[in-house]
Structure 1
Amino acid sequence: MNPTANAVRAGLARGWIELRQLFTTGPDLIGQFMSPAIALVVLYLLRNREYAGSDLSIAELAVPGLIGSIIVFNGLFAITNVLVLDREDGTLLRAKAVPGGMIGYVVGKIVSAAGSVVVQVAVVLAVGMAVIGGASLGGLSVWATFVWVLLLSLLAALPLGAILGAVLDGPRATFLLTMPLMGLVAISGIFYPITALPGWLQAIGQMFPIYWSGLGMRSALLPPDAVAVEIGESWRHAETAAVLGAWAVAGLLIAPVVLRRMVRHESGSSMAARRERAMQRAF
């Protein structure tokens, strides 16, 4: 029997088990849905405030953008956090010691990360449509756009998360990463149209996948006339596919190289050194 195929099957099973544990454990559930719940509450309070030049409220415009940010932000952090923590507690070292263990480990983490993001998107979309409105999934073309934006956004986010998880040193570095990423969310037109920002901020926001994921979700979920608030009054599907695709290709090319390098340098002594540095920071 092919060892690689065995490792992939083991990874799929592991990912499914981790996904079930994630959504059947109270603290994990709170961690998954706390931030989206707070965002939805804020948007609900803004549901009657219309955006200038549009028949939609600020909340209705923001729900698809929130979904786009969840895909990229949470998809990235789901991989980053687990890689950093598993290096700290020795999980990665144990996986390295098993034949085909790293293949199964990576497959499992991809399954659990992608699955958790898809569940979050489904819940936030259902709740947003029910309590805020404005978004809909009627029609085959709408579903097609929703699916390809979701898949490309995940492909852009997950490899990037693997790269960051392989190079960041400890949970503190991961925590510090949240600050620039939250700033990036703020300038990516997620909660307010990007056209309201200065041109130089618009240019920075458009360099990263969060903006394009949000734009793609708005194109799928909002009425056609909502395009009036976008740059050039266009959904720019070709540009969305190109930018997300470029991030995905770059990540898929770089991530295996970085992960292999990380695994080669993983050892008992390196794990002990990280623990010693952590203890020194604690005291």
Structure 2
Amino acid sequence: HRIVMPGVVTPPLDVPQHIKRPDYKNLKIKSDDEIKKIRKSCHLACDALKVAAEIIKPGITTEYIDEVVHNEIISQGAYPSPLGYKGFPKSCCTSVNNVACHGIPDSTILMDGDVINVDVSVYYDGYHGDTSDTFAVGKVDEAGLKLIEVTKESLEHAIKSCRPGTTFSSIGDHIEGFVEKYGFTVCREYVGHGIGEDFHEAPDIRHYRNHHAPFSMEVGMVFTIEPIIMEGGCGVWKHGDGWTVLATDNKRSAQSEHTLLITDGGCEVLTLNPHVS
């Protein structure tokens, strides 16, 4: 008999919009009351991220950032979503230089020239809000600053495309198409996601070219876009602590994240708090 190997896989076939999707293939449509609650959680997450940004400098530990974020969140009567999530031991994630994501705040001391991503998620009144950004520590080289800038711009580029009728798979087209012009790559192992009563809801939102989520955005859907953009290759590996994800080639990465709501007119970025400049 002949030996058969996988061939070329073509894009998925369309399913008419009038056919009901199962939960794993669609996002939940949020009610006005749910949106109000998610918006509040997102604003609290944005506030906590701003507080973290204000203290980042050489000489502090990532554990200190976690303490500041934690105290800011609980002072508002909210809960830090990562704390205890599948055993995660801290209240935010701090990922420095070659740590791609999910870095556990610890005794690591920030040094002049580092780049650090702080990922903040808040649970308030039954709903989650999620945001992150990458910051320069002291004086960072030109290449590091460019990495941070392109990461933010790739997120903004994707957000501009989000509106009713846009396919979720197109998010990856916008992000990867943008960053590859600057010689960067997109991490393929970690994704954006729906969010609401659950920290992570369907579907997975990939930040590279794909055909995994060809269905369309609808009014009332809430989800995150959170690309990890890498200086070198897109390979990563997980540390023995079960969380910390590192670049295989030890090069730097940056991440930026917002939570979005699809509206009649396009989308609302819920983690752009009007109280935050």
TM-score (norm 1): 0.26
**Structure with the higher strand share, 1 or 2:** 2
Higher-Rg structure is 1
> Which protein, 1 or 2, shows the higher relative CO under an 8 Å CA cutoff with sep ≥ 6?
1
**Structure with the higher helix share, 1 or 2:** 1
TM-score (norm 2): 0.26
